[in-house]
């Protein structure tokens, strides 16, 4: 006989028969565990405390009969098979027990005989376990089918159908989770050329590698979709716009460094890819199609402005304003700067506005003073003025929360902020700034300060640092003139050029003397 681990709840009001029934069950299977109840109330209480594999219930335990016992809510809720048992073999009792929910009926005389009762229990428990396993298998298959229906098999990411379902549920319920997130759209640059040059199998290898990279970068609350072809969408949980921008830029860098090996007719080849990225910060608003459209437009701006970069929806507006102002028939660079700032005013935060207006104007004035102390004359003086006025123009594309961050920036955040110099140089060139001034803007954040750094860039760097340290700002304490000078002096020959430092010191000394 094969022992079957089984827990049985036996309800029998006659103590003598109850003892005999327990002995019959235990003698038939040493692995059985029998719990007993002497009346209906005790039966219901035991059912509230734990679950059992099988119930064996006497159909008549006054004042309760078969319908009140087997048909009770407590017995129905327990979900385990019930074997009805009675010393009365009237056909009506059998029918009532089956109608009430019993899966089998056993005459009590037979139940007391040898292994008869255990054989009945074993059969109904085995059948219940088979049915439960079949239901679990069906549930697993359904879950697998649902997953396959919503997952892109090539990349392992969710597919467009899954996104549409999420969007439909969000729209239908008016759902707002209160959690902020960003829509981030990725597109693999020049993907068609990979297919054309190496074949579609190589293209599939690239998409598969991109899918793995995206999955590895996701957080527990993020969702990533293959949007179509070589485009991907990430819904990224984040608290602020700057966080989503930095994350997107780091993923872009990761994709550009991916080692992708594709098969070719001559064996194999390593393929490098880049991606263009668009970001729209949604905040705590619910998911709407407009957010995807804006991320898509930002991605196309990234593709149209050189690829392998991250653009945001606010940058789309800034780019449009830049093109409008750059197309004006007349006006000096300074006039165009004023016009451009006015065009962008509504889309800028307070810190961004101060950076590209007050801060730049102070830096321009100080750069001219340092330049004069170094003997710089016109037109170089005019170039210094332009470089100062435009040097932080690129910060209008940075999220305000990133500019306002208290404390030191992470390496990833610094990479994003440092891009502002390059962006500002390109924007300045479009607004008609002198090429020498543009080069000074481009090189102002270079760490080395040797002879290869133009004098204008060296002057601009010192002026920018001094003004930043001595001006109120949200990301750190304001320093006195003496403290700012000491900090700049500590970086002599490393971050700041000695000649520019000496010129600043001389200029400040003359100012104090006057």
End-to-end CA distance of the chain: 110
Cα torsion angle, 303, 306, 308, 309, sign: negative
CA distances in angstroms from 82 to 101, 311, 344, 425, 514, listed in the order given: 7, 66, 76, 81, 104
Q: What angle do CA 130, 134, 136 make, to 5 degrees?
A: 115
Give yes or no for a contact between 118 and 186, defined as CB atoms under 8 angstroms apart: no
Give yes or no for a contact between 260 and 206, defined as CB atoms under 8 angstroms apart: yes
Active-site residue, selected from the candidate residues 12, 230, 413, 423: 230
Q: Which tokens is 82 given?
A: 């019930």
Please choose, from the candidates 452, 447, 454, the residue with its C-alpha nearest in 3D space to the C-alpha of residue 496: 447
HSE (side-chain half, CA atoms, 13 Å) at 215: 14
Q: What angle do CA 500, 506, 512 make, to 5 degrees?
A: 135
Is residue 230 annotated as a catalytic residue, yes or no? yes
Residue with tokens 């780091």: 250
- Whole-angstrom Cα distance, residue 156 to residue 309? 25
Residues 6+ apart with CB under 8 A from 514: none
Q: Which tokens is 363 given?
A: 């830096």
Q: Which tokens is 66 given?
A: 């078969």
Beta sheet of 104-107, edge-to-edge order: 32-37, 6-11, 54-58, 82-86, 104-107
- Whole-angstrom Cα distance, residue 201 to residue 185? 24
- Whole-angstrom Cα distance, residue 83 to residue 85? 6
Q: Which tokens is 88 given?
A: 């009365």
Q: How far is CA 353 from the centre of its chain?
A: 30
Instruction: Work out whether strand 275-283 and strand 310-312 pair parallel, antiparallel, or are unpaired.
Output: parallel
Q: Which tokens is 86 given?
A: 């009675």
Give yes or no for a contact between 503 and 367, defined as CB atoms under 8 angstroms apart: no
- Whole-angstrom Cα distance, residue 109 to residue 372? 117
Q: Which tokens is 245 given?
A: 């921008």
- Whole-angstrom Cα distance, residue 436 to residue 117? 100
Q: Which tokens is 453 given?
A: 């750094």
Q: Ramachandran region of residue 400, left (φ > 0), alpha (ψ -120 to 50) or beta?
A: alpha
- Whole-angstrom Cα distance, residue 417 to residue 513? 38
Q: Which residues are catalytic?
A: 230
């Amino acid at each position: 006989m094969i022992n079957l681990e089984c827990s049985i709840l036996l309800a029998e009001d006659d103590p003598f028969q109850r003892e005999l029934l327990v002995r019959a069950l235990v003698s038939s299977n040493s692995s059985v565990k029998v719990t007993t109840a002497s009346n209906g109330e005790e039966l219901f209480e035991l059912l509230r405390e734990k679950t059992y594999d099988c119930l064996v219930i006497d159909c008549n335990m006054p004042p309760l009969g078969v319908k009140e016992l087997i048909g009770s809510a407590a017995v129905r809720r327990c979900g385990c098979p019930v074997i009805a048992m009675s010393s009365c073999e009237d056909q009506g009792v059998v029918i009532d027990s089956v109608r009430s929910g019993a899966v089998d009926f056993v005459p009590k005389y037979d139940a007391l005989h040898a292994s008869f009762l255990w054989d009945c229990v074993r059969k109904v428990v085995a059948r219940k376990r088979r049915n439960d396993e079949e239901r679990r298998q069906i549930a697993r298959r359904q879950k697998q089918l649902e997953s396959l229906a919503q997952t892109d098999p090539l990349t392992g990411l969710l597919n467009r159908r899954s996104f549409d379902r999420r969007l439909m549920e969000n729209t239908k319920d008016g759902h707002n989770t209160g959690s902020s997130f960003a829509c981030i759209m990725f597109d693999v640059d020049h993907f068609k050329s990979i297919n054309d040059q190496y074949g579609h199998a190589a293209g599939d290898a690239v998409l598969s590698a991109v899918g793995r990279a995206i999955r590895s970068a996701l957080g527990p609350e993020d969702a990533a979709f293959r949007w179509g072809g070589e485009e991907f969408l990430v819904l990224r949980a984040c608290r602020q716009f700057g966080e989503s921008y930095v994350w997107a830029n780091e993923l872009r860098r990761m994709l550009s460094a991916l080692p992708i090996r594709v098969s070719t007719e001559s064996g194999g080849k390593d393929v490098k890819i880049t991606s263009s990225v668009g970001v729209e910060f949604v905040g705590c608003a619910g998911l709407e199609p407009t957010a995807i459209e804006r991320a898509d437009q930002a991605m196309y701006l990234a593709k149209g402005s050189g690829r392998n970069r991250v653009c945001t929806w606010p940058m789309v507006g800034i780019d449009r304003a830049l093109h409008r102002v750059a197309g004006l028939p007349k006006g000096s660079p300074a006039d165009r700067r004023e016009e451009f700032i006015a065009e962008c005013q509504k889309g800028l935060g307070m810190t961004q506005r101060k950076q590209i207006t007050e801060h730049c104007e102070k830096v321009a004035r100080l750069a001219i003073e340092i330049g004069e102390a170094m003997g710089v004359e016109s037109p170089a003086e005019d170039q210094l003025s332009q470089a100062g006025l435009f040097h932080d123009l690129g910060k209008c594309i940075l999220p305000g929360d990133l500019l306002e961050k208290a404390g030191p920036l992470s390496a990833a955040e610094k990479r994003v902020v440092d891009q502002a110099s390059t962006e500002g140089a390109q924007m300045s060139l479009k607004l008609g700034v002198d090429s020498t001034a543009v080069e000074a803007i481009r090189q102002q954040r270079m760490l080395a300060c040797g002879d290869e750094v133009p004098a204008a860039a060296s002057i601009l760097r010192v002026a920018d640092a001094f003004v930043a340290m001595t001006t109120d700002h949200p990301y750190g304490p304001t320093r006195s003139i003496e403290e700012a000078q000491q900090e700049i002096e500590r970086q002599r020959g490393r971050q700041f050029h000695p000649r520019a430092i000496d010129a600043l010191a001389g200029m400040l000394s003359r100012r104090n003397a006057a």
